[in-house]
Amino acid sequence: MASRGGCTHTRPVSKRDYYEVLGVPRGASPDQLKKAFRTLARELHPDRNPDDPAAEAQFKEAAEAYQVLSDPTQRERYDRFGHAAFDQSGGPGPGDFSGFGEIFEGLIGEMFGGRRKKRRGQDVEVEVEVSFEAAALGAEETLKVTKPVPCATCEGTGAKPGTAVRTCNQCDGKGEVRFQKRLFATSRTCPACEGSGKKIETPCKSCRGAGHVQGEEEMAIRIPPGVEDGATRTVRGAGSPGPGGTGDLLVTIRVKPHPLFERDGADVLCTVPVSFPQAVLGDTLDVPTLEGQVRMKLPPATQSGKVFRLRGKGIPVYGGMGKGDQLVTVLVEVPEKVNRKQRKLIADLAEEMGTETHPQRQSFLTKLKDLLE
Ligand SMILES: [Zn+2]
Ligand SMILES: [Zn+2]
């Protein structure tokens, strides 16, 4: 028997230092320990190394080292007394492997998916169509969501009214059962109650014992300013109920096209057709914006395709600061049909104007002439 603080080892000399087993320095942080163990466990896991006694022995060794070093009290004792610390107290040894703590099982489960949680309810996906303005400026929309809602007949218990709901005797109401898989104990969803932990004697007729029926629920959802077409918002806990919690509601936002506006990031694009006389003489235009009509000065001699910028009349930058602009493209419209009188006037006008009133055309003709000579 080892004396406290002594260096007498009752275990075989071959027992390796725990830090050495995990390949970490003595001062390793809990995170470093966890990471080192994960890496080793992944390599050595019995599922990956079937019937390999060497890997199994190493896995046991690593698990034991991690079990001790991940527990601050045990680690302190180990740091002071080495392996001797556990000789008297019946601590973990290679032979007694069944006594793993919650931490270890949790870690193993987390790593290998061996430990199944009670099933969470499903996420419910819906689409909501909003106007261009609502997406740009933000809004609150009400939507109808078809999803499982608590059954009114049994008030969600799943049992026929007046009959009992017992605790599932297979899992004692825990919803999961434990089983031994090679080296460690793990858990899975109870097959008898499918994780609910309850046993219903006479199922409710309306919901066939499920506790919920398909129903419609009205929900208000906030549309954030600047949101783009196809964006998704998650409403936590508004999905389908399940034994392990309620799923989420995933709302995809669809933005309806606008008759006059298009979007380019935070900018609003808009094309305003003007007549030839307006373009020549200038005018004041009524231009629609997200916040209503504004007056925009069209200077004389505005060319078709000219873009005017209305600062700050765009869309708030999504999730950021500031606003975009509105870009107004002027389109000089050529009349498609003219009557006889108009045709005559335009012909007279053409004669009157010549090419000197059209510098771009004149420049083009000069260059063309040079090219041909
Ligand atoms: Zn019911
Ligand atoms: Zn059960």
Q: Which CATH number is associated with domain 18-112?
A: 1.10.287.110
C-alpha closest to that of 271 among 337, 336, 334, 326: 326
**Ligand 1 centroid from CA 171, angstroms:** 23
Digit-coded pLDDT (tens) for 75-118: 998 898 888 877 654 444 443 344 444 445 555 555 554 444 55
Q: At 251, list the tokens.
A: 């709302």
Q: Domain 119-156+211-257 classified CATH 3.40.50.1110?
A: no
Rounded to whole angstroms, the Cα distance separating 78 from 258 reads: 71
**Ligand 1 centroid from CA 277, angstroms:** 74
Digit-coded pLDDT (tens) for 116-151: 455 678 889 999 999 999 999 999 999 888 888 888
Q: What angle in degrees, to the nearest 10, is found between the helix axes of 53-69 and 72-81?
A: 100
Digit-coded pLDDT (tens) for 219-278: 899 999 999 999 999 988 888 877 677 889 999 999 999 999 999 999 999 999 999 999
> In this structure, are residues 295 and 285 in contact, taking their beta carbons and an 8 Å threshold?
yes
Helix (H, G, I), strand (E, B), or coil: what is residue 318? coil
219-256 b/e (C-beta count within 10 Å ≥ 16 → b) = bebebebbbeeebeeebeebbbbbbbebbbbbbebebe
**Ligand 2 centroid from CA 243, angstroms:** 11
Rounded to whole angstroms, the Cα distance separating 128 from 260 reads: 22
Are both 119-156+211-257 and 262-333 of the same fold?
Answer: yes
pTM of the prediction? 0.56
> In this structure, are residues 150 and 212 in contact, taking their beta carbons and an 8 Å threshold?
yes
Say which range, 26-35, 74-83, 179-188, has the weakest mean pLDDT. 179-188
Q: List the domain boundaries for the chain.
A: 18-112, 119-156+211-257, 262-333, 340-372
Q: Residue 3 has what pLDDT?
A: 43
C-alpha closest to that of 159 among 196, 198, 203, 197: 203
Phi, psi dihedral angles at 266 (to 5 degrees): -95, 0
Residues around ligand 2, an ion, CB closer than 5 A: 168, 170-171, 190, 192-193
**Ligand 2 centroid from CA 169, angstroms:** 6
**Ligand 1 centroid from CA 203, angstroms:** 8
- Find the mean pLDDT for residues 297-305: 96
* Fold topology of 262-333: HSP40/DNAj peptide-binding domain (2.60.260)
* Nearest ligand to residue 169 Cα: 2
* Nearest ligand to residue 151 Cα: 1
**Ligand 2 centroid from CA 177, angstroms:** 7
Helix (H, G, I), strand (E, B), or coil: what is residue 231? coil
* Nearest ligand to residue 203 Cα: 1
